Amino acid sequence: GAVVSQHPSRVICKSGTSVKIECRSLDFQATTMFWYRQFPKKSLMLMATSNEGSKATYEQGVEKDKFLINHASLTLSTLTVTSAHPEDSSFYICSALAGGRADTQYFGPGTRLTVL
Protein backbone atom coordinates (compact mmCIF):
# COMPACT_ATOMS: atom_id res chain seq x y z
CA GLY A 1 0.00 0.00 0.00
CA ALA A 2 0.85 3.74 -0.06
CA VAL A 3 2.15 3.86 -3.62
CA VAL A 4 2.89 7.17 -5.31
CA SER A 5 3.57 7.46 -9.02
CA GLN A 6 4.99 10.24 -11.14
CA HIS A 7 4.71 10.88 -14.84
CA PRO A 8 6.79 11.28 -16.86
CA SER A 9 9.87 9.64 -15.38
CA ARG A 10 12.13 11.57 -17.74
CA VAL A 11 11.53 14.59 -19.92
CA ILE A 12 13.76 16.63 -22.19
CA CYS A 13 12.50 19.97 -23.40
CA LYS A 14 13.74 23.06 -25.15
CA SER A 15 14.44 26.25 -23.28
CA GLY A 16 11.36 28.46 -23.05
CA THR A 17 8.81 25.67 -23.11
CA SER A 18 6.62 24.50 -20.23
CA VAL A 19 6.63 21.04 -18.73
CA LYS A 20 3.93 19.42 -16.60
CA ILE A 21 4.74 16.68 -14.08
CA GLU A 22 1.98 14.58 -12.53
CA CYS A 23 2.02 13.04 -9.08
CA ARG A 24 -0.60 10.45 -8.20
CA SER A 25 -1.39 8.54 -5.02
CA LEU A 26 -2.48 5.16 -6.37
CA ASP A 27 -4.06 3.42 -3.42
CA PHE A 28 -4.88 6.16 -0.97
CA GLN A 29 -6.27 9.66 -0.83
CA ALA A 30 -3.86 12.45 -0.10
CA THR A 31 -5.11 15.82 1.04
CA THR A 32 -1.54 17.05 1.17
CA MET A 33 1.28 16.51 -1.29
CA PHE A 34 4.77 17.98 -1.36
CA TRP A 35 7.10 18.85 -4.20
CA TYR A 36 10.86 18.61 -3.86
CA ARG A 37 13.79 19.33 -6.13
CA GLN A 38 17.16 17.62 -6.01
CA PHE A 39 20.29 18.73 -7.83
CA PRO A 40 23.12 16.26 -8.52
CA LYS A 41 24.94 15.12 -5.39
CA LYS A 42 22.70 17.32 -3.24
CA SER A 43 19.92 16.60 -0.83
CA LEU A 44 16.22 17.13 -1.44
CA MET A 45 14.95 20.68 -1.15
CA LEU A 46 11.28 21.29 -0.44
CA MET A 47 9.69 23.56 -3.02
CA ALA A 48 6.06 23.71 -1.98
CA THR A 49 3.24 22.11 -0.06
CA SER A 50 0.14 21.31 -2.07
CA ASN A 51 -3.24 21.01 -0.42
CA GLU A 52 -6.27 19.67 -2.25
CA GLY A 53 -8.65 22.41 -3.22
CA SER A 54 -6.50 25.30 -2.10
CA LYS A 55 -3.47 27.28 -3.17
CA ALA A 56 -0.05 25.78 -2.68
CA THR A 57 2.34 27.14 -0.07
CA TYR A 58 5.77 27.85 -1.52
CA GLU A 59 9.08 27.80 0.32
CA GLN A 60 11.15 30.92 0.46
CA GLY A 61 13.00 31.55 -2.77
CA VAL A 62 10.73 29.39 -4.93
CA GLU A 63 8.92 31.40 -7.63
CA LYS A 64 5.25 30.52 -7.57
CA ASP A 65 4.66 31.94 -11.03
CA LYS A 66 7.37 29.73 -12.45
CA PHE A 67 6.45 26.53 -10.65
CA LEU A 68 2.68 26.21 -10.90
CA ILE A 69 1.10 23.65 -8.63
CA ASN A 70 -2.44 22.33 -8.97
CA HIS A 71 -3.92 19.84 -6.52
CA ALA A 72 -7.31 19.33 -8.09
CA SER A 73 -8.22 15.99 -6.57
CA LEU A 74 -7.36 13.81 -3.60
CA THR A 75 -5.14 11.63 -5.77
CA LEU A 76 -3.49 14.04 -8.18
CA SER A 77 -1.16 17.01 -7.93
CA THR A 78 0.63 18.57 -10.88
CA LEU A 79 3.75 20.71 -11.08
CA THR A 80 4.20 22.83 -14.19
CA VAL A 81 7.60 24.33 -14.84
CA THR A 82 6.86 27.36 -16.98
CA SER A 83 9.32 28.87 -19.44
CA ALA A 84 11.93 26.32 -18.48
CA HIS A 85 15.62 27.20 -18.64
CA PRO A 86 18.70 24.99 -18.35
CA GLU A 87 19.11 25.92 -14.69
CA ASP A 88 15.72 24.28 -14.02
CA SER A 89 17.19 20.94 -15.02
CA SER A 90 16.86 18.79 -11.93
CA PHE A 91 15.26 15.74 -10.34
CA TYR A 92 11.73 16.61 -9.21
CA ILE A 93 10.15 14.41 -6.57
CA CYS A 94 6.69 14.50 -5.06
CA SER A 95 5.41 12.96 -1.87
CA ALA A 96 1.97 12.40 -0.44
CA LEU A 97 0.71 12.12 3.07
CA ALA A 98 -1.10 8.83 3.50
CA GLY A 99 -4.73 9.50 4.26
CA GLY A 100 -6.17 8.56 7.57
CA ARG A 101 -3.12 8.69 9.78
CA ALA A 102 -1.31 11.34 7.72
CA ASP A 103 1.86 10.75 9.68
CA THR A 104 4.11 9.46 6.95
CA GLN A 105 5.12 10.90 3.60
CA TYR A 106 5.37 8.44 0.75
CA PHE A 107 7.49 9.50 -2.18
CA GLY A 108 7.15 9.10 -5.90
CA PRO A 109 9.99 7.75 -8.04
CA GLY A 110 10.94 11.19 -9.31
CA THR A 111 11.04 12.95 -12.67
CA ARG A 112 14.31 13.82 -14.36
CA LEU A 113 13.94 17.12 -16.22
CA THR A 114 16.57 18.20 -18.72
CA VAL A 115 16.19 21.59 -20.34
CA LEU A 116 18.30 22.13 -23.45
Partner 1 sequence: DAKTTQPPSMDCAEGRAANLPCNHSTISGNEYVYWYRQIHSQGPQYIIHGLKNNETNEMASLIITEDRKSSTLILPHATLRDTAVYYCILSMEYGNKLVFGAGTILRVKS
Cα distance between residue 61 and residue 2, in whole Å: 30
Q: Which of 15, 18, 73, 104 binds partner 1 (CB under 8 A)?
A: 104
Asked if 97 touches partner 1 (CB under 8 A), the answer is yes
* Shortest CB 97 distance to partner 1, Å: 6
Preceding peptide of 109 cis, ω within 30°: no
User: In terms of CB distance, is 7 or 82 closer to partner 1?
Assistant: 7
Amino acid sitting at position 17: T
Asked whether position 21 contacts partner 1 by CB under 8 A, the answer is no
Contacts of 92 (CB under 8 A, 6+ apart): 6, 21, 35, 36, 37, 38, 79, 81, 110, 111, 113
Residues at the contact surface with partner 1, assessed by CB under 8 A: 2, 4, 6, 32, 34, 36, 43-46, 49, 91, 93, 95, 97, 102-110, 112
